[in-house]
């Protein structure tokens, strides 16, 4: 493995303010690490304070509605000799372009939860904190009192009713109302109005939030900080709630709005989160604004019962990404990252993992790349040309789960040493067993970059990680049966289907000077709701791609 020193550039990243900064060797630069790993358990209420402390001056050509931009309001790039790059060569115009990359939010990818207000709401846009003396004026302490009260009320309500989507309005205390300057919403109103000073109406944010608030909708724009609060609902076979509202010390513990059973709850497994502001997702993901979100449950309990208490908490987590600072469309010349450069793993190129001979580890692998898939042809072998696997000299593996959904036992049993493709966004839980009598001390785990299936015919395998075999210890075995399969993940029966839909994808030839037009049911994406799906209802969809 060669040592690489990268040219320093500004990047946006997720970080835990309480965690120490990584140690960097003299003369090196810090690599963009993924965000901190989030852990919760099925049934938990997730409470998270999100701070945006990016300095917009570091990304001066990237604008949002409230920023002073250049050109037509899109990110700008130029080639050598002043040759115009993006957006002139793409014909994109605001807001359908790369823009607002200093705006932040979080999408909790794969969670079975409320997509509105302070839940998994991808439409929220949090602008950076104002700055004084080059430091953000909004810190964790700025709204701590308000957020503590909000989290307490949110937890009380969501534990009382897993189907509650509270808060529904800015008037719901203790976040609001906006008329109270001591509330979070009241303070946000002042921040937004100050932010809009000296800006033309087309670039102001408060009028948009005000109009959405008056229409009874959840407003979109915020400054500096935002509270996320949502429940990971646990499936139970009984109707919910089974009893009247609980009363503690004479105080009712929250309104009961629903008396129905959940036909599906949150699955335990490997999930992830990433920045999801429309217009800047590709830029921010390539910068490294991704992280793993592990949701524990009976799945972990069964594995720990077999391998030992707390075993799943000690297993390797591999967050794959294609790091970069410039999306493909902004590149005037070569350098596309469709199928390279090599994947990073936890912010490092080709890192090392240690295993004992005969040890079994569970690798939680998350492909957070914005473009390329990773094809795993099979476990490493002492002789790569050999057709069969020799457990004494070669690695073995079995797949436990895909995209946060665990395998039924029949599929787990069939997965021994099978190949698999992890497209962008995919997750795989993999049990890996080291050889008992390894022929050498280090083995490379090879993958192929693939955007389309045809890429596998020509893509050259590249090392993803290196496994170093060290030490000694008792031989471990694969768990005999897959963890118990959740009842709510059983196959959907015909009797459950309560509606059908036909959806058509199509990609049209590009008009002169413009990119290819991708449509769903004949319409390009514009942010409007395309389909409405009712909770606890099963539908059968037929999806066709009519692209020629």
Q: Are residues 434 and 523 in the same domain?
A: no
Distance CA(369)–CA(305), nearest Å, equals 34
Residue among 156, 177, 157 at smallest CA distance from 166 = 157
Looking at the structure, tell me whether residues 99 and 228 fall in a common domain: yes
* Pair (520, 431) in one structural domain: no
Q: Which of 404, 435, 469 is at the close of a domain? A: 469
* 138 and 226 together in one domain: yes
The verdict on residue 388 lying in a domain is yes
Amino acid 248: pLDDT: 43
Q: Spell out the residues 6+ positions from residue 20 whose beta carbon is closer than 8 angstroms to its own.
A: none
Contacts of residue 457, Cβ cutoff 8 Å, sequence gap at least 6: none
Residues 108 and 215 in one domain: yes
Number of domains within the chain: 3
Q: What order do you get walking across the sheet with 317-321 strand by strand? A: 348-349, 344-345, 317-321, 360-367, 427-433, 396-402, 405-406
**How many C-beta atoms lie closer than 10 Å to residue 296's C-beta?**
17
Indicate the length of the chain as a whole number: 548
Q: Do both 519 and 460 map to the same domain?
A: no
Same domain, 432 and 519: no
> Cα–Cα distance between 461 and 527 in angstroms, integer?
38
Residue 153: which residues within 8 A CB-CB, separation 6 or more?
A: 173, 174
Q: pLDDT tens, 198-247?
A: 788 878 999 999 999 999 999 999 999 999 999 999 988 765 454 444 44
Do the domain assignments include residue 444?
A: yes
Would the pLDDT of 504 be above 80?
yes
Whether the per-residue pLDDT at 254 is higher than 70: the answer is no
| pLDDT score at 463 | 96
Closest listed residue to residue 45, CA positions, set 156, 169, 150: 156
Among 340, 291, 351, 295, residue whose Cα is nearest residue 462? 340
Q: How far apart are CA 40 and CA 292, in angstroms?
A: 11
Last residue of a domain, one of 436, 453, 469: 469
* CA–CA separation, 454 and 437 (whole Å): 37
Q: Please check whether residues 442 and 541 belong to one and the same domain.
A: no
- Pseudo-torsion of CA 214, 218, 224, 227, nearest 10°? 130
Residues 347, 415 share a domain: yes
Rounded alpha-carbon distances, angstroms, from residue 278 to 95, 107, 468:
9, 11, 41
46-86 residue pLDDT tens: 999 999 999 988 887 777 776 665 667 788 777 666 677 78
Tens digits of residue pLDDT in 379-419:
999 998 898 999 999 999 999 999 999 999 999 999 999 99
Enumerate the β-bridge partners of residue 78.
84
pLDDT of residue 318 exceeding 90, the answer is: yes
Q: What is the mean pLDDT of residues 276-297?
A: 94
The pLDDT, as a whole number, for residue 536 is 80
Q: Among 472, 467, 473, which Cα is nearest to 432's? A: 467
CATH number of the domain that residue 464 is part of:
2.60.40.420
Measure the CA–CA gap between 46 and 479, rounded to whole angstroms: 31
Domain containing 423 equals 295-469
Task: Looking at the structure, tell me whether residues 145 and 216 fall in a common domain.
Answer: yes
Residue 298 neighbours by CB distance under 10 Å: 14
CA atoms of 267 and 429, how far apart (whole Å): 14
Burial of 41 (0-12, 13-18, 19+ CB in 10 A): middle
Residue 360 scores a pLDDT above 80: yes
Q: Do the domain assignments include residue 29? A: no
pLDDT reading at 257 higher than 60 = no
Domain-embedded: residue 69? yes
SS (H, E, C) 25-82: CCCCCCCCCCCCCEEEECCCEEEEEEECCCCHHHHCCCCCCCCCCCCCCCCCCECHHH
3-state secondary structure 405-455: EECCHHHHHHCCCCCEEECCCCEEEEEEECCCCCCCCEEEEEEEEECCHHH
Q: What is the pTM of this model?
A: 0.91
The span from the CA of 290 to the CA of 369, in Å, is 9
Query: Coil, helix or strand for 300?
Result: helix
Which residue in the block uniquely carries the two structure tokens 């800047």?
280
Pick from 266, 284, 312: which residue ends a domain? 266
Average confidence score pLDDT of the chain: 89
């Amino acid at each position: 493995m060669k040592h690489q020193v990268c040219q320093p550039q500004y990047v946006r990243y997720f970080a835990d303010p309480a965690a120490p900064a990584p140690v960097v060797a003299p003369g090196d630069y810090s690599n963009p690490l993924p965000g901190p790993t989030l852990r919760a358990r099925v049934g938990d209420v997730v409470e998270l304070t999100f701070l945006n402390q990016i300095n917009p001056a570091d990304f001066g050509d990237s604008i949002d509605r409230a920023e002073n931009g250049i050109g037509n309001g899109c990110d700008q790039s130029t080639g050598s000799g002043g040759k115009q790059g993006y957006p002139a060569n793409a014909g994109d115009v605001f807001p359908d372009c790369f823009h607002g990359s200093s705006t932040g939010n979080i999408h909790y990818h794969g969670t079975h939860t409320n997509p509105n207000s302070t839940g998994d709401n991808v439409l929220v846009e949090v602008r950076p904190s104002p700055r004084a003396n080059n430091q953000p004026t909004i810190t964790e302490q700025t709204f701590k009192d308000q957020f503590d009260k909000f989290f307490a009320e949110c937890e009380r309500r969501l534990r009382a009713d897993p189907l509650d989507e509270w808060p529904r309005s800015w008037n719901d205390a203790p976040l609001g109302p906006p008329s109270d300057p001591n509330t979070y919403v009241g303070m946000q109103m002042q921040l937004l109005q100050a932010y809009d000073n000296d800006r033309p109406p087309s670039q102001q944010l408060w009028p948009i939030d005000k109009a959405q608030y008056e229409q009874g909708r959840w407003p979109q724009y915020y400054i500096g900080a935002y509270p996320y609060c949502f429940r990971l609902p646990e499936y139970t076979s009984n109707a919910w709630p089974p009893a009247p509202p609980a009363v503690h010390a004479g105080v009712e513990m929250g309104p009961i709005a629903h008396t129905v059973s959940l036909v599906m709850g949150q699955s335990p497994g490997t999930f992830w989160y990433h920045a999801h502001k429309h217009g800047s997702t590709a830029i921010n993901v390539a910068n490294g604004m991704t992280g793993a979100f592990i949701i524990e449950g009976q799945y972990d309990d069964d594995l720990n019962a077999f391998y030992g208490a707390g075993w799943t908490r000690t297993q390797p987590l591999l967050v794959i990404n294609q790091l970069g600072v410039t999306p493909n469309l902004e590149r005037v010349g070569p350098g596309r990252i469709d199928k390279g450069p090599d994947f990073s793993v936890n912010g490092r190129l080709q890192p090392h993992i240690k295993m004992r001979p005969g040890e079994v580890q569970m690798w939680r692998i998350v492909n957070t790349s914005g473009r390329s898939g990773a094809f795993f042809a099979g476990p490493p072998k002492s002789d790569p040309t050999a057709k069969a696997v020799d457990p004494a000299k070669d690695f073995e593996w079995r797949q436990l789960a895909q995209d946060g959904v665990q395998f039924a036992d029949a599929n787990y049993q069939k997965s021994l040493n099978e190949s698999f493709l992890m497209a962008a966004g995919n997750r795989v839980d993999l049990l890996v067993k080291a050889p008992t009598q390894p022929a050498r001390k280090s083995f490379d785990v090879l993958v192929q970059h693939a955007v389309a299936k045809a890429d596998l015919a020509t893509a050259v395998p590249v090392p993803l990680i290196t496994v170093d075999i060290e030490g000694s210890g008792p031989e471990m075995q694969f768990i005999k049966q897959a963890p118990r399969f959740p009842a709510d993940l059983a196959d959907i029966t015909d009797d459950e289907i309560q509606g059908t839909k036909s959806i058509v994808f199509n990609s049209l030839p590009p008009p002169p000077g413009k990119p290819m037009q991708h449509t769903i049911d004949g319409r390009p994406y514009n942010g409007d709701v395309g389909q409405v799906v009712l909770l606890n209802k099963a539908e059968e969809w037929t999806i066709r791609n009519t692209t020629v």
